[in-house]
Amino acid sequence: MDRSGKFDTVTDHFQFFDVSYVSTVLNKYIEWKRKTQIEHNIIISEKATEKMITEEEKEFRTRRWLISSFQEYLNSSNKSNFLIRICF
């Protein structure tokens, strides 16, 4: 967006790619985004709340994973690789 002129001024060429270049471009983007939201009356809703799972749900999911992994292990012809894949 910086190269295409969406921001007010174009930042120096990317050959000067360092922390100051990145922060300048990011700051320009944040300012552009804020202006665009104001111009088009875009209201950003608050962040979605993260769904918390209960202890019972955690236990259920863990057991389900454990049972399915064990079933896969029993059906596997190469059991040594399977154990390494689960552990790491």
What digits encode the pLDDT tens for the residues 38-49?
888 888 766 656
The answer to whether the beta carbons of residues 76 and 86 sit under 8 Å apart is: no
What digits encode the pLDDT tens for the residues 25-65?
889 898 988 888 888 888 876 665 667 889 999 999 999 99
Quote the CA–CA distance of 85 and 82 in Å, as a whole number.
5
Count of positions (residues) in the chain: 88
Q: Tell me the pTM.
A: 0.38
Confidence of residue 2 (pLDDT cuts 50, 70, 90): low
Helix pair 79-87, 55-75: axis angle to 10 deg: 160
Parse the chain into domains and list their residue ranges.
1-44, 55-87
Confidence of residue 78 (pLDDT cuts 50, 70, 90): low
